[in-house]
Amino acid sequence: MRHKEDHASFPMIDVLRGFAATFVVVYHVMHYFPLPGAPAGGPRWVQYGWTGVDLFFVISGFVISLSAFRGIDRLGSTGFRMDFARQRLARIAPLYYLTGFIFAVTLVPALFFETNAWMNWLAHALFAHNLFPKFHGSIDGANWSVGTEMQFYLLILLAAPWLRSAKSITIVIIFIAISWAWRLTSYFYFAPEVSPASFGMFFFQTQLPGMLDEFAIGILVAKLIRSPSDSASQHLAMGALLLAVSIVGIAAVTLAANPLVHYLFFRTFLASGFGALLLLACHLSGTILMAASLPFRYIGKISYGIYLWHLVVLVPMMQFKWLTADRALPVILGSTALLAAVSWHFFERPFLMRYGRRSYQTEPLTEPKTDPLSDERELPSPGLGFKAPAAN
């Protein structure tokens, strides 16, 4: 059975990616550099920059499940797996390994000489570093989220045939229930002794089971887009419902002023709102809009590089105690974007053109009129968790 999204691409999703990556960079700059006249961490809205991570997880749920479903449509429930795994590794691994190595060599060379350093490097090489508190955030700290992403890809590799055929409501209920149970368990394990904002609770909450609700919202949107019977008006109604759930839920969580309530439910309601934005982005088109959004879509295209490079740029500047956020931000954003653009055009994209093609593609991938990877190119989430080295 053919689905109406078989040949569709969703370029406006890159605008969301670009916003998420930029928001995280701004958050980190405001966190590590003081802003004159502002509270620690910057203005209130900047202190929510960590939500860029959650937006990326929702986008990932959509794009990665959609990629797997398309592969199953063409190659079957078993045959899609080799293609899927190769595409994911070709997209994620090269720049991840390169920037991690550069970060260690130039900024924290002691990582090569620590006791049992090989365990740290092996954990990062296998995308399992986020599973160990000692290694979480130790190399290019934001990379904890790459581990969570890759573990989600493994879940999709195994479960995509079931996800493709299961009812959306079943998937959402199961994934949200797992997330809430995981968070509840971690809360009562840590809460008697530490704050919900502690590293221990952050570490447990951001493991894959604790983030499944966000991925589930993305999968829900993918299944809506694939449905041959749903119309744009039905998508609009679902988007309105997701937005209403998000607004009411976040308001209720805020009014409750209870750490447990916030810890359990906030990310779920936040993801619901991001799902509404994602649905809207899938339906936005038009020549004028595409032209006007081109710079923002380009930022989204290189957002993986922005995520991976930004701490390489930021950390050396932390030695300047006089440097303020307003002066650091344009330099860090500009330098990071330049590195991301160079790595995209001269490293990532050539690698993808060689190793990232689907086995069912027959057209050449050199100099395409449109990006053949755009509808399946997913980026790991910009994350937090960077542990700044002590200043000399």
User: pLDDT digit string (tens) for 177-234?
Assistant: 999 999 999 888 876 555 656 788 889 999 999 999 999 999 999 999 998 777 778 8
How far is Cα 308 from Cα 99, in angstroms, rounded to an integer? 6
Q: State the pLDDT at residue 361.
A: 58
Q: State the pLDDT at residue 318.
A: 96
Nearest in space to 124 (alpha carbons), one of 159, 98, 85:
98
87 touches 70 (CB < 8 A): no
Nearest in space to 60 (alpha carbons), one of 230, 211, 265:
211
Residue 56, in any domain of the structure: yes
Residue 361, in any domain of the structure: no
How far is Cα 176 from Cα 169, in angstroms, rounded to an integer? 11
Long-range contacts, 188-194 (Cβ 8 Å, 24+) = 191/259, 191/260
Residue 380, in any domain of the structure: no
Fill in the DSSP letter of residue 303.
H
Residue 330 CB neighbour total at 10 angstroms: 10
How far is Cα 8 from Cα 3, in angstroms, rounded to an integer? 10
Per the structure, how many domains does the chain have?
Answer: 1
How far is Cα 41 from Cα 376, in angstroms, rounded to an integer? 35
Residue for token pair 């199961």: 174
Q: Would you give per-residue pLDDT tens digits along the chain (392 residues)?
A: 555 555 568 999 999 999 999 999 999 999 999 999 888 888 889 999 999 999 999 999 999 999 999 999 999 999 999 999 999 999 999 999 999 999 999 999 999 999 889 999 999 999 999 999 999 999 999 999 999 999 999 999 999 999 999 999 999 999 999 999 999 998 888 765 556 567 888 899 999 999 999 999 999 999 999 987 777 788 889 999 999 999 999 999 999 989 889 999 999 999 999 999 999 999 998 999 999 999 999 999 999 999 999 999 999 999 999 999 999 999 999 999 999 999 999 999 999 998 877 765 544 444 333 333 344 444 444 444 433 333 33
Residue 389, in any domain of the structure: no
Residue 192 CB neighbour total at 10 angstroms: 7
pTM attached to this predicted model: 0.90
Q: State the pLDDT at residue 38.
A: 86
How far is Cα 218 from Cα 213, in angstroms, rounded to an integer? 9
348 touches 94 (CB < 8 A): yes
How far is Cα 365 from Cα 23, in angstroms, rounded to an integer? 32
46 touches 26 (CB < 8 A): yes
Residue 369, in any domain of the structure: no
Residue 215, in any domain of the structure: yes
How far is Cα 308 from Cα 297, in angstroms, rounded to an integer? 18
**How many CA atoms lie less than 13 Å away from 258 in the CB half-sphere?**
8
Nearest in space to 160 (alpha carbons), one of 226, 71, 88:
71
Question: How far, in Å, are 316, 379, 391 from residue 23 at the CA level?
Answer: 20, 15, 25
Residue 346, in any domain of the structure: yes
Domain range for 52 is 13-355
Fill in the DSSP letter of residue 134.
T
Residue 366, in any domain of the structure: no
